[in-house]
Structure 1
Amino acid sequence: MTLQQKTGVKIIYEDNHLLVLSKPARLLTVPDSTGDPSLLDWAKSYIKKSGSKPGNCFLGVIHRIDRPVSGLVCFAKTSKAASRLSEQMRMHTIRKTYLALTRAIPPARSGVLEHMLKKDHTRNLVQVFPKDFSDPLARPARTLWRTVEEKGGLYLLELIPDTGRPHQLRAQCAHMGCPILGDIKYGAAEPLPDGSIALHAFRLEIDHPTKRGRLVFKAPPPDTDVWHIFFYKHYAK
């Protein structure tokens, strides 16, 4: 069994400047104090082996997703790509689309969530406040959302964040009254058996850092019981 099979990491796209991966839930995006393996570790190991590159290889972290979240993560393989993709992040031209499952009935078919978010670093928890809340430690967060469909007592939501705050989607969905399935940190009734939460980075759109043209990547949600009723239909979109 290969390292790729062992970890469940999937390569979605690769060229001289980019490496786009699909991260399984429960794998860190980057190393933290736990010392557990991360997607970044996996990617560096892969590049060293596939490119026969000795020593440390460059790999720029452009964005990250939470440990219990699955889906698309893009790394830069060159400093030029890292700089240009980071600028796209600052200019909000990178577009990310997530899918989420909730058992709660959404308050409408669609809408925009606008709040101020403040992170409690001691508890690793984000607090949600009205958009006119004033606090030097709070940051604005904006997310577009819509209800895609309901099936089997679950509601499938599409979430498009305009900002990239820590725990943004998790906290805003909970504040809307729709905690993400399995996310007990933000109000879900119970955890999922595998320790994941039903939040998946499904689609990623970027401008190629060195060529003309827009790139669009997709990754299917995990093939697990909670996702299976929506799995193929929404990956094929």
Structure 2
Amino acid sequence: MRILVVEDEAQLREQLAARLRAEGYAVETAADGDEGLWQATEFPIDLAVIDLGLPGLPGDEIIRRARAAGRTFPVLILTARGRWEDKVEGLEAGADDYLVKPFHVEELLARIRALLRRAAGVASPRLEWGPLAIDTRTHSVTLGETPVELTAYEYRVLEYLALNSGRVISKTELTEHLYEEESDRDSNVIEVFVRRLRRKLDPDGRLQPIETRRGEGYRFNLAGDGSCG
């Protein structure tokens, strides 16, 4: 998942980016409203964390213009203002949730996970398809009662496909949502991750959790509805 952090306070911006990367997210950052708006409208963002009090465009205006441009990703606003009117303005502009500074990073992470689940149409951090269970909070996977050991990137591919269950995802889309803008990208690496996932999740070939659509991409295709455990 790719997250945009728009925050003018350099120390906080870098702290948030570092923690989000440690949690397995790809992160883009912006220090002012104009750069934030450009990234919000030009990059394939899964969620944005936007400070309201920014140089250049204020945070609520970034949200308003991004929504007008058709961007529907969840937005969590940060504000140092305690007035309820400021929170309402941010929400009315199109934000989905807010945190008042100072805040605990663990709460920020919990809200981000909840917003991403909500955007995918699921309510619980634990997703189940028959014997396969994915815990998006702990980034752990089990097959029946057996833990499945995945690398960080294998997990990212699986989570993205699972949260978009039933939809065909191209290698390009996977690459854009798993890697940051300045990183070296090779969409052929996605094929390697998918092969590994199939081997680990379906050693005897019965489940076939990831379907290849030739010329189109991949589809998470397990029977079941991704019910919450």
TM-score range relative to shorter protein: under 0.3
TM-score where L is the length of structure 2: 0.27
Instruction: Point out which structure has higher relative CO (alpha carbons under 8 A, 6+ apart).
Output: 1
TM-score where L is the length of structure 1: 0.26
More helix by share: 2
